[in-house]
Amino acid sequence: MIRRFFRFDELGTDLRTEVVAGATTFATMSYILVVNPQILSKAGIPFDGVLFATALSSALASIVMGLWARYPIALAPGMGLNAYFAFTVVPQLAASGATAVGAWQAALGAVFISGFLFLLLSLFRVREYLVNAVPMSLKISIAAGIGLFIALIGLKNGGIIVDSPATLLTLGNLHSAGPLLTFAGVQLTAILMVRKIKGAPLITIAVITLYTLITGDIKLPSSLFAWANPSETFLALDIFGAFRAGLVNIIFAFFFVDLFDSLGTLIGVAEQGGMLTKDGHLPRAERALLADAIGTLAGACLGTSTVTSYIESNAGISAGGKSGFTSIVVALLFLLAIGFAPVFRLVPATATAPILIIVGALMMRSVSKIAWKDLTETIPAFLTISGIALTFSIADGMAFGFISHAIVKGLGEHPKAVSPVCWILAALFILRYALLSH
């Protein structure tokens, strides 16, 4: 029955291959079970609640992808958007005092609204049109800017860079354990990846955690098996609070970044797996895009940030995964992880900091595709990348890029060189800054 439903014979695969592929994908992306709770807990969300939400929303979205779209692509809360949620959105809300329930609850409300927009636009197939209307240079620079943003957080969490009243940022104390472990973790992960060893980020996390156990910096819990408790985050989102706090630009940032991220990842993974048609289209694309919309809605209700497709799915495809059953295996492993909450609580921040830096480096690779000799491409791209990292805000970096693109490209070349969508977005961003109270 499984073989017929997932078309094993037609795709040239079998149950054993699909199980191995699913386990391989899970091994390469399971670091999110440690990293996401650590990041979002800094915003005040209970660690166990985020762990439960991360595992269950990833499982639900991957099941939809496997059963409905039937692709070997797994999903989980996206890196970058979780950092934006914790380090930009929640602090802004807390400082404004505009929410009656709580800052992180209103931020989850914003994630839910963006997920609802994903769902609507996926059903009506508008997402592909919007993505095609934005120039490639801006898409690439948004991804690269998020990569630099994530790396900056990793360097900060690892103590390699610290704040300075004189220079804003400066080098941390390299004689202390945190920076040394972080630097060593980056090198270890890089070596493992160069040697193409599966699950390199997870191995690094395990090695550094084991080292801190040996040195006595952390202690083993009394039991390694216990269910993550979701009671404090389940349905804690404040949708009306998101509207009261005026989170339109933040909802837009969640929506817009995932708009590019999901479709870009889907196409990239599908291309490697030979799933695209001769004209470059992805069959059942609307079904695949529904998976991240459903995952985001579920994640917001459970207590985590935006869920998206993961490029690490390439690892499972390289291991032979061709059908949706690969995604089902990933989902089952995510569900199994919920019972090991003490293990994930055990991991120190120094074990995850190297992974943030490595993920940031990987996301920066695409900048080579920007036409740097063309000033109408260079200036908006640079402002986007630097703006996201240096303002600690994806929304502000995107605003700098779209405004600059409209001005430099539209007035430097010709107004028709800028798509109507980009003109509208630039105008909305300018209006937002004009109405900003500070």
- 84-126: per-residue pLDDT in tens? 889 888 888 887 765 656 889 989 998 999 889 888 887 777 7
pLDDT at 271: 66
pLDDT in tens, 344-360: 888 888 888 888 898 88
Question: For 20-25, what is the mean pLDDT?
Answer: 86
Question: For 65-80, what is the mean pLDDT?
Answer: 90
Contacts of range 375-383, beta carbons closer than 8 Å, 24 or more positions apart: 375/408, 375/412, 376/405, 376/408, 376/409, 376/412, 376/413, 376/417, 377/135, 377/137, 379/404, 379/408, 380/137, 380/138, 380/141, 380/404, 380/405, 380/408, 380/409, 381/137, 381/138, 381/140, 381/141, 382/141
C-alpha 59/C-alpha 254 separation (Å) is 21
Q: Which residues pair with 226 in a beta bridge?
A: 340
| Residue that wins the pLDDT comparison between 28 and 373 | 373
pLDDT at 258: 72
Are 355 and 31 spatial neighbours (Cβ–Cβ below 8 Å)? yes
Q: Is the pLDDT of residue 438 over 60?
A: no
pLDDT at 268: 62
Question: For 388-412, what is the mean pLDDT?
Answer: 87
> Residue 67 — pLDDT band, cuts 50, 70, 90?
very high
pLDDT in tens, 242-293: 777 667 777 877 877 777 667 667 766 776 677 767 765 677 777 888 888 8
Please list, residue by residue across 163-201, b when 16 or more beta carbons sit within 10 angstroms of its beta carbon and e when fewer do.
Answer: eeeeeeeeebeeeeebbbbbbbbbebbbebbeeeebbbb
Mean of all residue pLDDT scores within the chain: 85
Q: Is the pLDDT of residue 406 over 90?
A: yes
Q: Is the pLDDT of residue 379 over 90?
A: yes
C-alpha 144/C-alpha 303 separation (Å) is 27
- 3-class state of residue 296 by DSSP: helix
| Residue that wins the pLDDT comparison between 282 and 20 | 20
Q: Is the pLDDT of residue 436 over 60?
A: no
